[in-house]
Amino acid sequence: MTEPTRPAADVLALLGVPLEPLRESKGGRTREAILGAAVALACRTGLGGLTVGSLATEVGMSKSGMFAHFGSKEALQLAVLDAAALEFATEVVLPALSAPRGEPRVWVLVEGWLSCGLMRRPGGCVFVKSSTELDEQPGPVRDRLRNQHLELGRSIARIFAGGIREGHFRADADPERFAGDLHAVMLGFYHQHRLLGDPRAEERARAAVTALLDAARPPGEGSGVRAGAAAEAGR
Amino acid sequence: MTEPTRPAADVLALLGVPLEPLRESKGGRTREAILGAAVALACRTGLGGLTVGSLATEVGMSKSGMFAHFGSKEALQLAVLDAAALEFATEVVLPALSAPRGEPRVWVLVEGWLSCGLMRRPGGCVFVKSSTELDEQPGPVRDRLRNQHLELGRSIARIFAGGIREGHFRADADPERFAGDLHAVMLGFYHQHRLLGDPRAEERARAAVTALLDAARPPGEGSGVRAGAAAEAGR
DNA sequence: GCGAGAATAGTACGACCGTTCGCACTTTTG
DNA sequence: CAAAAGTGCGAACGGTCGTACTATTCTCGC
């Protein structure tokens, strides 16, 4: 995995990803390294289960060294959320935004999301894990996670609305509802894949999305382009 | 909340709920009381966040008193899972099983499930929380949770299959796929309701289930009975 | 009403938690 | 090149974790 070049700032801002100064000093680099390990660790244990001690041993530093970079555990959790959001935005949302508008763009998003959940690092997804952890335990971390989810929902709705303008979907279709439905499909996929270990989870998720899109299609049109080529070209 | 009478043993066994001897001695009663508090606590903190100390203060006993009833934390977690499954089975699944077969039975299940997620004790659902906690951390607790989820899926599939036999749904509809799709809708509902606090979550979940059922209906039939009366009579 | 055994309290333990502080070492800056 | 700032370590703190052992209190069949 090569060092990913940072996408254009305005696009990221559109996705609600805050971009800290990105200092290129010594400390800035190790901070980045710590964050990478922290995201991977949080994927396995959740944001609450992410302990300073385990993170320190993971990166081969002392606990106190962590506090030199992040003042508190809460600040570390916030930084982890932002780093994970940056990753998700660059690897899933941005490729979709550079695909042709309308249904192909939806499919690139779905395929990127699926492969993110499938072949990803062990432990799963920070966002899914911390969503259920924090859902009723108020505080800055919960608020940040909530805002990120809302922003993701808005992005999905925008992508779907583009499909309406292209004529791929009915004019009276509800983009927000589609965003919620798609998110539900992905949650179900995650659950079936991770906990139940069902090998048909991926195929079923695609079928569910297809059903969602079919229901949103203008009357009298068959199943639309599955956009396999577009999905491949998008990454 | 009155003491719920225990349902017929064979029905519970069908749902995969183990039924321990249910001793009526002093210790048996306090064990039941502890389990009730433990389930409520686990709903707020998850199975992993459920600590022996906090549970002890919650029920007004000492930590060592807990270990007299449950030998270890793991045994406590297993007991909590079983108690929660018993609750879910009696309050959601069983009422559905006594509703008229077919689509009305599906709707009683959905309504019970929704109200379970809505007006329930603070903190949410143990199963959702522990699903994401344990999904990749092997052990007896994870196995039990997995089996409970599989059993729930089978129950949903059976209920849907009954709708096929009644002629409410297409003969070539896939009950297992419906079970997965319904679960996904409920997960999405939970997420929208708990984390995002969206007041439209409930209405959207009903719309999603309606879409699921419409897609499964035999061709040439309009939207089926919404079964409002049946849903009310079922509880 | 008494004695056996269950039920619960008390205490102690080692491990790890998040956090702080003081001190070395290195990098950047003037 | 010296000073200032940044970077990381080691030790220690008060707490809480799960668990073990030993007492004490209570219940209940006889």
Q: Look up the CATH number of the domain holding residue A96.
A: 1.10.357.10
Q: Is the per-residue pLDDT at B215 higher than 90?
A: yes
The average confidence (pLDDT) of chain B is 87
Q: What is the mean pLDDT of residues B194-213?
A: 96
pLDDT, position B136: 83
State the nearest residue by CA to the C1' of D28: B25
In order, the DSSP letters of A166-180 are TTSS-TT--HHHHHH
Whether A4 is covered by a domain: the verdict is: no
* Distance separating alpha carbons of residues B30 and B38, to the nearest angstrom: 12
Residue B186 CB neighbours (<10 A): 23
* Distance separating alpha carbons of residues B48 and B158, to the nearest angstrom: 32
Q: What angle do CA A54, A56, A61 make, to 5 degrees?
A: 155
Q: Is the per-residue pLDDT at A229 higher than 50?
A: no
Chain C footprint positions (protein CB, under 7 Å): 6-12, 16-22, 26-28
State the nearest residue by CA to the C1' of D20: B64
A181/B189 touch (CB, cutoff 8 Å), yes or no: no
Give percent above pLDDT 90 in chain B: 75
* Cβ atoms B163, B105 nearer than 8 A: yes
Q: Is the per-residue pLDDT at B234 higher than 90?
A: no
Q: Is the per-residue pLDDT at A231 higher than 50?
A: no
How far: A63 CA to D23 C1' (Å)?
A: 41
Whether A79 is covered by a domain: the verdict is: yes
pLDDT band at A122 (very low <50, low <70, confident <90, very high): confident
Whether A104 is covered by a domain: the verdict is: yes
pLDDT, position A17: 67
pLDDT digit string (tens) for A75-96?
Answer: 999 999 999 999 999 999 999 9
- Does A46 contact chain B (CB < 8 Å)? yes
pLDDT digit string (tens) for B80-132?
Answer: 999 999 999 999 999 999 999 999 999 999 999 999 888 667 789 999 999 99
* Distance separating alpha carbons of residues B48 and B80, to the nearest angstrom: 12
Name which of B46, B133, B150 is nearest A196 (Cβ-Cβ). B150
Give the least confident one: A182-186, A218-222, B40-44, B158-162: A218-222
pLDDT, position A21: 56
Q: What angle do CA A12, A20, A44 make, to 5 degrees?
A: 80
Chain D footprint positions (protein CB, under 7 Å): 6-12, 16-22, 27-28
- Does A199 contact chain B (CB < 8 Å)? no
Range of the domain at B182: 9-233
Q: What is the mean pLDDT of residues A160-169?
A: 98
Whether A149 is covered by a domain: the verdict is: yes
Both tokens assigned to A86: 């940056």
Kind and range of the H or E element at A212? helix A201-216
- Does B150 contact chain A (CB < 8 Å)? yes
pLDDT, position B229: 40
Long-range contacts of B17-20 (CB under 8 A, 24+ apart): B17/B82, B17/B85, B17/B86, B17/B89, B18/B82, B19/B86, B20/B82
Q: Is the per-residue pLDDT at B186 higher than 90?
A: yes
Of the candidates A149, A115, A170, which has an alpha carbon nearest to the alpha carbon of residue B196?
A149
Both tokens assigned to A192: 């079936």
Number of domains composing chain A: 1
| Three-class DSSP labels, B171-197 | CCCCHHHHHHHHHHHHHHHHHHHHCCC
pLDDT band at A206 (very low <50, low <70, confident <90, very high): very high
Q: What is the mean pLDDT of residues B128-146?
A: 94
Q: What is the mean pLDDT of residues B162-178?
A: 97
pLDDT, position B20: 56
Whether B4 is covered by a domain: the verdict is: no
Whether B210 is covered by a domain: the verdict is: yes
Whether A1 is covered by a domain: the verdict is: no
Whether B147 is covered by a domain: the verdict is: yes
pLDDT, position B127: 96
Q: Is the per-residue pLDDT at A227 higher than 50?
A: no
pLDDT band at B1 (very low <50, low <70, confident <90, very high): very low
pLDDT, position A233: 40
Dihedral in degrees, nearest 10, Cα atoms A147, A152, A153, A154: 90
* Cβ atoms B149, A144 nearer than 8 A: no
